[in-house]
Amino acid sequence: MTIGVTGRYCAGKTTVAEILAAHGYLHIDVDAVGHRALAELEDRVVDRFGPEIRHPTGGIDRKALGRIVFADSAELRALEDIVHPRMVEIVIEESRTARDSVVNAALLFRMRLDAICDRVIWVSAPLVVRVFRAMKRDGLSLGAVRQRMRSQTDLAAQLSSSSVDIYTVRNTGNARRLESRLSRVPGVIRARNGENGRYDGK
């Protein structure tokens, strides 16, 4: 089974994916996949965005690149056009290595990764909670957080275009409550003995 986990910036996608990983799923972190694809396609990215995005110690300075693409939707799309095809290839390759996998991707629908999923979990969280998490976790200013959130304004609209079953799970920061909510998604959290069904918590 392949489960897609998506949602807006700092909604708690990784927390959900880690809970599923604890139940035997292979966690495919698409952010990490993006770093790999960016390294593989470094020359093309630098050709498109300029030498100023190179890090002094080598590779791409992702913060410098982020300042460009999160401030301009056209630039973001240009980056996605370069790296997304390779990212999709990597995700498909990794998902085939395990019986059960969880694809943790903010842009799951934009990248058409929902097509390889048996179910999708949309993680939601209050705006204030997401802003606080972003500033604390990523050390961003409020303006930078707003830029990143604006870049994802189309995510919810893409839900209706998918044919896969989509389940919304609300994350307010309580891990036990979040796992309980995940257990209500049919067939996602299985018994430890490998039989289909919900994990009994023992």
Asked if residue 88 belongs to a domain, the reply is yes
Q: So what's the pLDDT on residue 198?
A: 36
Give the CA dihedral 104, 110, 114, 116, nearest 10 degrees: -90
Asked if residue 16 belongs to a domain, the reply is yes
Asked if residue 193 belongs to a domain, the reply is no
Number of structural domains (the chain) is 1
* Residue ranges making up the domain that contains 41: 2-182
Which pLDDT tens digit goes with each residue over 1-17?
Answer: 999 999 988 888 999 99
What CATH number corresponds to the domain at position 112? 3.40.50.300
Asked if residue 168 belongs to a domain, the reply is yes
Sorting pLDDT into bands at 50, 70 and 90, what band is 100?
very high
62 closest CA partner among 37, 84, 85, 81: 37
Q: So what's the pLDDT on residue 136?
A: 73
Q: Say if residue 196's pLDDT is above 60.
A: no
Which pLDDT tens digit goes with each residue over 149-182?
Answer: 776 666 655 565 677 899 999 998 788 899 999 9
Q: What is the mean pLDDT of residues 39-57?
A: 96
Comparing 9-18, 91-100, 108-117, 187-196, the range with the smallest average pLDDT is 187-196
Q: Which distant-in-sequence residues (6+ apart) come within 8 Å of 202 by Cβ?
A: none
Asked if residue 59 belongs to a domain, the reply is yes
Measured over the CA atoms of residue 61, residue 27, residue 157 and residue 130, the dihedral's sign is negative
Q: So what's the pLDDT on residue 169?
A: 94
